[in-house]
A and B are shown apart, each in its own frame.
Chain A
Amino acid sequence: MSWLFQLLQAALVLAAAPLLTGFVRVLKARLLGRRGPPLLQPYRDLLRLLRKDPVIADNASWLFRSAPYLGFALIWLGACLVPTFTSRMGLGATADFIALMGILAAARFVTTLAGLDVGTAFGGIGSSRDIMIGALAEPAVLMVIFTISLLTHTTSLPLISEFMQTGAVGLRVSLALALIALVMVAIAENARIPVDNPATHLELTMVHEAMVLEYSGRHLALIDATAMLKLVLYVSLIAAIFVPFGMATGAGSAGAIALGLATWVGKLAAGGALLAVFETSIAKMRVFRVSEFLGGALLLGLLATLYLYVTRAL
């Protein structure tokens, strides 16, 4: 049964990814007073890119060609490991929260290297900045993991969800700090405003878009789909830890699964809406301010952990 759920989840995250991105885009356009693209536009964009000829630079190596596939598969794998509608997933025991961060780091390893492969200035600028963001974001997430695992006594994501669902943890200062830190990291990792702008085409302000500038055709389609999938991954992750309510646990009757699915879709929509509101109400920051932003996330995470240690000692 758990493997069936796992397959269902793998398919669902894939199907939902362009929809969530489309939803955020529509909402942002409305908030700015524009009509915006249709909700399903991201699907059409992906299909259009898939049909186009990929053009590859003369001196690109095998790494450049395989990176989009590898990056996509890694983020997809990551999205399969986050509990969405049920906590009983086939892969639940193979990887915990720390391993999930390892998989995201692997995806970053592949994409930043691909950015350097052709040897252009834009690829380099994107890779170098993306690496800097990762160097600050990853330890911040690890501090969040420490905090959560001190509260729930486990680093396994399904078990964290189940434990948080019981409400035994209650309201805690550490939990709030960890939530803020994880949201800040999610914004940076998904290349959203104020860290990066997914819609920008002004080169000097780009991070992610500069790194993938050389890609076209199906490779670009994969990279865009990866970005959409990553957004689903992070929204689901935050939901699975901080608001796991409604998620099916145990063997799960059909009703519980349906409830889990419905609440998951609701959480994705709510996350997307919050993101759209947040992005329209804030300006993008300079690249070197990002370190302060993420350094803040790291310190919040550390503070959350320390606070727990101290309150335990008392």
Chain B
Amino acid sequence: MLTAVFTAALALLLLGAGGAVLRQNTLVYGGSAAACAVAFLAALLWLLGGGEPERLVLPVGLPWLPVQLRLDALSAFFLLLVDGLGLLASIYALGYGRHEEEPQRVLPFYPAFLAGMNFALLADDAFSFLVAWEFMSLASWLLVLASHRQPETRRAAYIYLVMAAFGTAALILAFGVLAGPEGGYAFEQMRQRPDAFWPATLIAFLALVGAGSKAGLAPLHVWLPLAHPAAPSHVSALMSGAMTKVALYAIIRILFDLLDSVVWWWGLVFLLVGGGSALLGVLFATVQRDLKTLLASSTIENLGVVIAAVGLAIAFKANGLPLLGAVALVAGLFHALNHAVFKGLLFLGAGAVLVATGTRDLERLGGLIHRMPYTALAFLVGCAAIAAIPPLNGFASEWLLFQSVIEGAVLPQWSLQFAVPVVGALLALSAALALAAFVRAFGIAFLGRPRAAETAAAREVEATMRVPMGLLAALAVLIGLVPGLALRVIGPVIEALFGTAAISAAAGRFLWLAPPGRLDVAYSGFGLFAAGAVLLVLTVAVVKRASRTAPRRSAPWDCGFPDPHPATQYSAAGFAQPIRRVFADSVFRAVERVDMPAPGEQRPARLELRFDDRAWTLIYAPITRAVGTVTERLNVLQFLTIRRNLSLMFGALVLLLAIIAVLR
């Protein structure tokens, strides 16, 4: 199976090289779809079959460290996410790619991006992991630059590059500490090496910072809402749905596999970072005007939710409660899987809207449910799933997570006792705000009346784009109704990491979700769906019998003053205003300025709305300023004579030797 995945990833690399030469849409995307399908099936079969991890050592790489690959449950699960979404995004791109203005800026890098993600998941030594990770980062950076003529895209790409470099630097350090003084860079050596307390803590936080910046955790999230939407939509889907999962993989791999134990207060930090990211991300999503930026902001929220689950798992594991820890991690992985499904779906839907109308601006959309019925239905399912509406998949994972939070009461440390309910409240708040954000996204873009001429002229997109959206929507429903399907593929991962078959007890009943040993507390999406369907049929039958007249069509009522102009509808900014006033003032410093002309004046009234991310003003601006000042001061070093330069180097050498002498 490992060879199959490896061959598929290699084929993707070759496709990237071929794409640069051939520039054939069908060839590149069709080939990517085939390679992803092979890797997906191999990973799925491996997970279902169970068995020992497979290893492969390639005769390339550094002389003392050949490239080592390994397929185990954790990497197989994430391969499933990456290649499953990669397959559907590639099919979608067969249609979407035809609308691309400069396909030569996308075609070579798209398979390379997929290959990078696959290799990062397969790597079994630090060196090949980091190479694959950088490959993934740089390929996605080039894809972000696809529409490089827009200045905001160039800015987004620049910020992304800086943040990616920073994240990789942190990961290099993390692996450096993991390897220890003897330099055991293979993951197998890291697993066997016992870690002392402080180095282990350093590793955990470097992993959180390094991989967390790629996952968009606050306050390292600033690049994500800029870069993810700038890429072509099928790439945005992969960046949000799959690449953030590779970052999550890195965190879980380091914390639960490479380190031999975890400390309870790491869990506290993860919980707070996760809860904070969740709330911040969803607040951004509720006020965003650009449809794709809205979706990217919500990625911050969902990854925050997953990281909070990881934090709970750490806290439980460190306190000797592996069963509860396993449940928390199941909730986290389940949510990661669900996020890949619905965020992929929503980005593909946003891409369809972009192709059909030429805009992503919510204030120019509207009424698309009449013009693009398939896209609208698929997007609606995605919105309901991400807003945690039962019986869809998003609710199932949130349900499991909340059960896990409730179990947090058994944790002995008082700080966790405080943090767990507070983070629970943050997660509850973000779930409720996600409902607001996605009612707004769907309601403004697809319902009401078109707000611009190009929106009124929109047409449904081609079948190659509709089919992947339909499949993802069906998957969101299916996983919601039969959560056992997801638990079946998560089960082996948990068994490998925690050594307990925690959730397989619940997985035996495919239609039910229940924490292990707690069969009294259960949720069955299928049962609810069936009962609801019976009640709905009953309602329709009775009402239709009692009232037989067919509905009459007429102009909207609107309290007697219907105005045909679309500007009389609620706007996206107006819809978000109550929430902006309640929550966002403190978070974004939202400023509303109303310029109302005096009676008799002819000029129009104006409402100016501005908000910004405080992470910029509080963290990044001071850092930028500090870097600027320091480099300016150090600039004199460039103009030193060679004699002074050499003496500086000598001084540095002496200093380093002195440090080593002291530490020894």
Give the interface of A toward B (CB within 8 A): 10, 47, 50-59, 61-63, 65, 69-70, 72-74, 76-77, 80, 91, 93-96, 98-99, 102-103, 105-106, 108-109, 112-113, 116-125, 127-129, 131-132, 134-139, 142-143, 145-146, 149-150, 154-156, 159, 203, 213-214, 216-218, 221-222, 287-288, 291, 295, 298, 301-302, 305-306, 308-310, 312-313
4 shortest A-B CB distances, which residue pairs?
Answer: A124-B570, A119-B448, A94-B527, A116-B443
Instruction: Tell me if B403 and A150 are in contact (CB < 8 A).
Output: no
| Minimum CB distance partner of B383 in chain A | A109
Instruction: Tell me if A91 and B558 are in contact (CB < 8 A).
Output: no
- Contacts A116-B443, A138-B428 known; A156 to B389 CB distance under 8 Å? no
| Minimum CB distance partner of B436 in chain A | A131
Q: Which residues of B contact A132 (CB under 8 A)?
A: 436, 578-579, 582
| Chain B 424-449 interface residues, beta-carbon cutoff 8 Å to A | 424-425, 428-429, 431-433, 435-436, 439-440, 442-444, 447-449
Min CB gap B75→A, angstroms: 32
| Minimum CB distance partner of A51 in chain B | B547
Instruction: Tell me if A61 and B569 are in contact (CB < 8 A).
Output: no
Instruction: Tell me if B528 and A61 are in contact (CB < 8 A).
Output: no
Instruction: Tell me if B447 and A113 are in contact (CB < 8 A).
Output: yes
Main secondary structure of the interface of A (DSSP, over half): helix
Q: Is B418 positioned at the interface, with any CB of A under 8 Å from its CB?
A: yes
Instruction: Tell me if B409 and A117 are in contact (CB < 8 A).
Output: no
Q: Is B522 positioned at the interface, with any CB of A under 8 Å from its CB?
A: yes
Instruction: Tell me if B523 and A116 are in contact (CB < 8 A).
Output: no
A139 and B390 CA atoms in complex are apart in Å by 16
A118 and B448 CA atoms in complex are apart in Å by 5
A152 and B555 CA atoms in complex are apart in Å by 54
Min CB gap B97→A, angstroms: 30
Instruction: Tell me if B432 and A138 are in contact (CB < 8 A).
Output: yes
Instruction: Tell me if A65 and B551 are in contact (CB < 8 A).
Output: yes
Q: Which residues of B contact A150 (CB under 8 A)?
A: 406, 409
Q: Which residues of A contact B523 (CB under 8 A)?
A: 94-96, 98-99
A-B residue pairs in contact (CB < 8 Å), sample of 19: A50-B543, A57-B554, A61-B447, A70-B536, A76-B539, A94-B522, A96-B522, A109-B387, A109-B389, A119-B448, A120-B556, A121-B570, A124-B574, A128-B570, A128-B574, A128-B578, A136-B432, A291-B581, A312-B417
A171 and B465 CA atoms in complex are apart in Å by 59
- Give the residue among B388, B433, B528, B558 with the most A Cβ atoms within 10 A: B528
Q: Which residues of A contact B559 (CB under 8 A)?
A: 122, 203, 213
Min CB gap B584→A, angstroms: 12
Instruction: Tell me if A99 and B581 are in contact (CB < 8 A).
Output: no
Q: Which residues of A contact B577 (CB under 8 A)?
A: 128
A134 and B380 CA atoms in complex are apart in Å by 19
Q: Which residues of B contact A287 (CB under 8 A)?
A: 578
Q: Is B237 positioned at the interface, with any CB of A under 8 Å from its CB?
A: no
A91 and B449 CA atoms in complex are apart in Å by 41
Give the interface of B toward A (CB within 8 A): 366-367, 369-370, 380, 384, 387-390, 395, 399, 402-403, 405-406, 409, 414, 417-418, 420-422, 424-425, 428-429, 431-433, 435-436, 439-440, 442-444, 447-449, 520-524, 527-528, 531-532, 535-536, 539-540, 543, 546-547, 549, 551-559, 562, 566, 568-570, 574-579, 581-582
| Minimum CB distance partner of B523 in chain A | A99
A11 and B257 CA atoms in complex are apart in Å by 54
Q: Which residues of B contact A96 (CB under 8 A)?
A: 521-523
- Give the residue among B409, B417, B418, B553 with the most A Cβ atoms within 10 A: B409
A61 and B528 CA atoms in complex are apart in Å by 26
| Minimum CB distance partner of B535 in chain A | A73
Q: A53-B551, A109-B439 are in contact. List 13 more A-B contacts (CB 8 A).
A: A55-B557, A65-B551, A77-B531, A80-B531, A91-B527, A93-B527, A99-B390, A105-B388, A109-B389, A117-B369, A119-B556, A132-B578, A135-B429
Q: Which residues of A contact B448 (CB under 8 A)?
A: 116-119, 124
Main secondary structure of the interface of B (DSSP, over half): helix
Contact of B579 (CB < 8 Å), options: A54, A65, A121, A131: A131
Min CB gap B309→A, angstroms: 16
- Contacts A76-B535, A94-B527 known; A58 to B558 CB distance under 8 Å? no
Min CB gap B105→A, angstroms: 37
A215 and B552 CA atoms in complex are apart in Å by 12
Instruction: Tell me if A61 and B443 are in contact (CB < 8 A).
Output: no
- Give the residue among A121, A149, A302 with the most B Cβ atoms within 10 A: A121
Min CB gap B267→A, angstroms: 16
Q: Which residues of B contact A306 (CB under 8 A)?
A: 418, 421-422
Q: Which residues of B contact A214 (CB under 8 A)?
A: 556-558
Instruction: Tell me if A73 and B532 are in contact (CB < 8 A).
Output: yes
Instruction: Tell me if A135 and B524 are in contact (CB < 8 A).
Output: no
Q: Which residues of A contact B562 (CB under 8 A)?
A: 120
A249 and B122 CA atoms in complex are apart in Å by 55
Number of residue pairs spanning A and B whose beta carbons lie under 8 angstroms apart: 282
Instruction: Tell me if B409 and A312 are in contact (CB < 8 A).
Output: yes
A147 and B367 CA atoms in complex are apart in Å by 43
Instruction: Tell me if B425 and A127 are in contact (CB < 8 A).
Output: no
Min CB gap A138→B, angstroms: 4
- Contacts A93-B522, A106-B390 known; A121 to B439 CB distance under 8 Å? no
Contact of A135 (CB < 8 Å), options: B433, B539, B546, B547: B433
Min CB gap B320→A, angstroms: 18
- Contacts A136-B582, A155-B403, A287-B578 known; A54 to B552 CB distance under 8 Å? yes
Instruction: Tell me if B528 and A77 are in contact (CB < 8 A).
Output: yes
Instruction: Tell me if A58 and B429 are in contact (CB < 8 A).
Output: no
Contact of B388 (CB < 8 Å), options: A102, A120, A312: A102
| Minimum CB distance partner of A131 in chain B | B436
Instruction: Tell me if A139 and B552 are in contact (CB < 8 A).
Output: no
Min CB gap B514→A, angstroms: 9
Instruction: Tell me if A120 and B531 are in contact (CB < 8 A).
Output: no
A99 and B536 CA atoms in complex are apart in Å by 18
A137 and B433 CA atoms in complex are apart in Å by 11
- Contacts A124-B570, A217-B551, A309-B417 known; A135 to B543 CB distance under 8 Å? no
Min CB gap B373→A, angstroms: 9
Q: Which residues of B contact A295 (CB under 8 A)?
A: 582
A309 and B420 CA atoms in complex are apart in Å by 10
Q: Which residues of B contact A55 (CB under 8 A)?
A: 551-554, 557
- Contacts A94-B531, A120-B556 known; A112 to B443 CB distance under 8 Å? yes
Min CB gap A224→B, angstroms: 12
A93 and B543 CA atoms in complex are apart in Å by 29
Min CB gap A102→B, angstroms: 4
Contact of A143 (CB < 8 Å), options: B425, B528, B554: B425
Instruction: Tell me if B570 and A125 are in contact (CB < 8 A).
Output: yes
| Minimum CB distance partner of B408 in chain A | A309
Instruction: Tell me if B405 and A69 are in contact (CB < 8 A).
Output: no
Min CB gap A236→B, angstroms: 17
| Minimum CB distance partner of B563 in chain A | A121
A216 and B553 CA atoms in complex are apart in Å by 12
Instruction: Tell me if A310 and B579 are in contact (CB < 8 A).
Output: no
Q: Which residues of B contact A301 (CB under 8 A)?
A: 425
| Minimum CB distance partner of B575 in chain A | A128
Instruction: Tell me if B536 and A73 are in contact (CB < 8 A).
Output: yes
Instruction: Tell me if B439 and A131 are in contact (CB < 8 A).
Output: yes
Instruction: Tell me if B389 and A57 are in contact (CB < 8 A).
Output: no
Q: Which residues of B contact A113 (CB under 8 A)?
A: 439, 442-443, 447
A6 and B367 CA atoms in complex are apart in Å by 41
Min CB gap B472→A, angstroms: 19
A128 and B386 CA atoms in complex are apart in Å by 19
Q: Which residues of B contact A62 (CB under 8 A)?
A: 369
Q: Which residues of B contact A128 (CB under 8 A)?
A: 570, 574-578
Min CB gap B432→A, angstroms: 4
A124 and B429 CA atoms in complex are apart in Å by 22
